[in-house]
Chains A and B, each alone.
Chain A
């Protein structure tokens, strides 16, 4: 079934799993003997987890997540993240704030008692128990096995029930025709969209665009299930918060210093 060309690409790809007992195991796919990392792969970018081979399905072994440290963000830093997302995924403001797309936004907070002010980036929280998925009549809203919540725009009918259900206002509806979308981020009129955690990059073993644009250490991306990952270790060792934790949605995006 797999063509010659496919085999050649596969030679370049390696799978590295972080085993708990055996340490890191590496094995080759295909019959070729050469071992080389695909270009662009950064081995230790976020803990041990690495890109899966392109032909392998995602599994529940990983659960991708983020830790956002509000204390490390200035307003401009948050805006840089938003800009990075826009550039990566091809959405932008068109001067119509009520209907413009919004994958990630700057939320400005002011503590009513202490008057302390700060801001943080807010996007889809990639809930483990996502209400958007529960309510979607067609199953277009779904959670990938690795915890990333997406809209399958092929079967989204644009009913917007998921927008009603999301507690975080993470979703927006495409209100007009759009052209020249990014080829890795299809989006179109009449369907709902939200942060994809840059799933196309994650599948290649890279970090989401916002994480790259954030100040050093302000945003940590990684595998919540991998106890050895930087993210999991941080969550274990410092105080972290979930937004609206009372709703018990177990978001994959966590915060610090709110």
Chain B
């Protein structure tokens, strides 16, 4: 085999246009963040009941995807699936980029983003949130080292170890992200240990969807084939397995909640009350994000084609957003039960479903996070040999 990886040198204009679009999006998003910080959160849809809004949906979605984006790299170094080795570098850089994108959104939505230095110097080690900050920076470092062992022959012998390290770290990271919710004892929608495996299985789906989408975009930009037919088939099968796993854990999550009498209310609210979350759950997460891509992928020739894989990936990503939205916003919207057995009202939205209408600046900030991730990847591809080299048309 000749060179396995190459730097992005020849590409058509679509790539440049994409990069410019991403830069514009980032600029707009930063403007939106500044606007929100300047005026305070009163200009957003977030309030004292729905304290985490659309920016958090984006941030968590990106962070969860980041860990899943490492799938192909892990498959090659940890599980010795050599067919994926060609995608290992791209997969690793994508993981770093997605994580940075998510963190930027999270940071810019803080009430006091100017206190970043405080966030980094004061740690409460009891806080799962503080641990997550360590997990995130650790992830970037470890995957960075991993990338290095992939690219520098002198340290190549550490590749396997670094691959394992990154693999273990990413599982802990997603567990940590899931636990942000799992630890909220008083929120009925979250109070479940199943949150962690649910997040891990979702991360496989969303991360791989990002990877495949980027790969196919690069096929278009370079005008070359980058994925062999064989690998396309494998990706298709992997997707099916991962979606099935995600659906399984989603089902377990809701079924166990239904089993616990005190959680029936919140389950009813989300699953069949006809609230916006009901539609997002069934229509977004289950139908658009799982069943539809499943149907596409089940058909062997359509599912492994460029069109099939692209549309399935995009559907999974959209469904993923809906999924995280239901978890983050839906869980907050359901009122806390302060006095079981009583009807509760107050001037502070006790006993009523929380209202949340995302505003434009929040959306722009979230999208800027995605653009940030994509721009980092695009830029990295240009300066270092991350891309797999093209394969022949008949492979």
Question: Measuring CB to CB, which residues of chain A are less than 8 angstroms from any residue of chain B?
Answer: 96-100, 102, 105-113, 122, 131, 133-140, 155-161, 163-169, 171-177, 189-192, 243-244, 247, 258
A111 to B41, CA, bound (A): 36
A258–B111 CB distance below 8 A? no
* CB-CB under 8 A for A173 and B51, given A108-B346, A164-B187, A244-B186: yes
Cβ distance A40 to chain B, nearest Cβ, rounded Å: 32
Chain A positions within 8 Å of B124 at CB level: 133, 136-139
CA distance A173 to B46 in the complex (A): 10
Q: Check B111–A158 contact: CB distance below 8 A.
A: yes
Q: A105-B348, A157-B119 are in contact. Are A167 and B129 (CB under 8 A)?
A: no
- How many angstroms between the C-alpha atoms of A247 and B188 in the bound complex? 12
Cα–Cα distance between A168 and B346 once the two chains are bound (Å): 13
A192's nearest neighbour on chain B, judged by CB, is: B111
Q: Which residues of A contact B129 (CB under 8 A)?
A: 135-137, 159, 161
CB proximity of B315 to chain A, nearest CB, Å: 30
| A29→B106 CA distance, assembly (Å) | 50
Chain B residues with CB below 8 A from A156, complex form: 111-112
Q: Across the interface, name the chain A residue whose C-beta is closest to B186.
A: A167
Q: What is the minimal beta-carbon distance from A53 to any residue of chain B, in angstroms?
A: 29
Contacts A138-B123, A158-B110, A191-B112 hold; do A176 and B184 have CB atoms under 8 A apart? Answer: no
Give the docked Cα–Cα distance between A169 and B187 (Å). Answer: 11
Asked if B13 is an interface residue, CB under 8 A from chain A, the answer is no
A-B contact pairs, 15 of them (CB 8 A): A108-B345, A108-B346, A111-B343, A112-B343, A137-B130, A139-B123, A158-B110, A160-B52, A167-B338, A168-B336, A169-B48, A190-B41, A191-B112, A192-B111, A243-B338
Interface pair A107/B344, CB less than 8 Å apart: yes
Q: A247 → chain B, closest Cβ, in Å? A: 6
Contact (A131, B41) CB under 8 Å given A136-B127, A138-B122, A173-B51: no
| Contact residues of B between 73 and 122, Cβ < 8 Å to A | 110-113, 115-116, 118-119, 122
- B31-80 residues with Cβ-Cβ distance < 8 A to A are 37, 39-42, 47-49, 51-52
Q: Please state if B51 and A164 are interface contacts (CB–CB under 8 Å).
A: yes
A134: contacting residue among B49, B127, B332, CB under 8 A? B127
B38 → A minimal CB distance (Å): 9
Q: Which residues of B contact A247 (CB under 8 A)?
A: 185-186
Using known A-B contacts A98-B47, A164-B51, A166-B186, determine if residue A176 contacts B42 with beta carbons closer than 8 Å.
yes
Contacts A157-B118, A159-B129, A167-B336; A189 near B40 (Cβ below 8 A): yes
Q: Please name all residues of chain B whose beta carbon is closer than 8 Å to the beta carbon of A138 when the two chains form the complex.
A: 118-119, 122-124, 130
Contact A122 B338 (CB under 8 A): yes
B153 to A: closest C-beta gap in Å:
41
Question: Which residues of chain A are within 8 angstroms of B133 by Cβ–Cβ distance?
Answer: 137
Instruction: Chain B residues near A98: list those with CB within 8 A.
Output: 47-49, 349, 355
The reply to whether B42 and A99 contact each other, CB–CB distance below 8 Å, is yes
Q: Are A102 and B111 in contact (CB-based, < 8 A)?
A: no
Summarize B's interface: helix, strand, loop or mixed. loop
- Please, which residues of chain B bring their CB within 8 A of the CB of A166? 186
Pair B111/A155 contact, Cβ less than 8 Å: no
In the bound complex, residues from chain B placing their C-beta under 8 Å from that of A122 are 338, 346, 350
- Across the A-B interface, give the 7 residue pairs with the lowest CB-CB distance, nearest first: A158-B111, A190-B111, A167-B186, A98-B47, A137-B129, A139-B124, A175-B42
Say yes or no: A155 contacts B41, CB within 8 Å: no
Interface membership of B183, Cβ < 8 A: yes
In the assembly, what is the distance between CA of A107 and CA of B186, in Å?
18
Output the nearest chain B residue to A189 by Cβ-Cβ distance.
B40
Question: Are A109 and B187 neighbours in the complex by a CB distance under 8 Å?
Answer: no
> Complex: how many Å from CA A134 to CA B345?
28
B341: interface (CB < 8 Å): yes
Assembly CA distance A111 to B169 (angstroms): 50
The reply to whether A135 and B42 contact each other, CB–CB distance below 8 Å, is: no
- What B residues does A165 contact at CB under 8 A? 183-186
Query: In whole angstroms, how far apart are the Cα atoms of A33 and B336 in the complex?
Result: 56
| B259 interface contact, C-beta 8 A | no
Chain A residues with Cβ under 8 A from B154's Cβ? none
Contacts of B115 in A (CB 8 A): 155, 157-158
A166 to B187, CA, bound (A): 9
**Known pairs A105-B347, A258-B339 / 5 extra A-B pairs, C-beta < 8 Å:** A98-B49, A157-B115, A165-B185, A175-B47, A176-B40
Q: Is the CB of B344 within 8 A of A108?
A: yes
Q: Does B241 contact A (CB under 8 A)?
A: no
Asked whether any CB of chain A lies closer than 8 Å to the CB of B128, the reply is yes
**B126 on the A face (CB < 8 A):** yes
- On whether A99 and B41 interact (CB within 8 A), knowing A134-B127, A157-B111, A158-B110, the answer reads yes
Question: Is B342 located at the chain interface by the 8 A CB criterion?
Answer: yes
A82 CB to nearest B CB, Å = 9
Asked if residues A135 and B110 are in contact (CB atoms below 8 Å), the reply is no
Specify which of B47, B185, B187, B346 is in contact with A107 (CB 8 Å cutoff): B346
Report A96 CB to chain B, min CB distance, Å.
Answer: 7
Q: Are A109 and B336 CB-contacts (below 8 A) given A98-B355, A164-B52, A172-B48? A: no
Which single residue of chain B is at the shortest CB-CB distance from A116?
Answer: B342
Interface residues of B in 307-358 (CB under 8 A from A): 332, 336, 338-339, 341-350, 355
Q: A111 to B180, alpha carbons, bound, how many Å?
A: 34
Expressed in whole angstroms, the Cα–Cα distance for A153 and B332 within the complex equals 24
Task: Knowing A98-B47, A176-B39 are in contact, say whether A110-B186 is a contact too (CB < 8 A).
Answer: no
Residue of B nearest to A165 (CB): B184
Q: A138-B118, A173-B48, A177-B40 are in contact. Are A110 and B350 (CB under 8 A)?
A: no
CA A139 to CA B124, docked complex, whole Å: 5
Query: Which residues of A are found within 8 Å of B126, using beta-carbon distances?
Result: 133-134
A249 vs chain B, min Cβ distance (A): 9
Chain A contacts of B47 at CB under 8 A? 98-99, 175
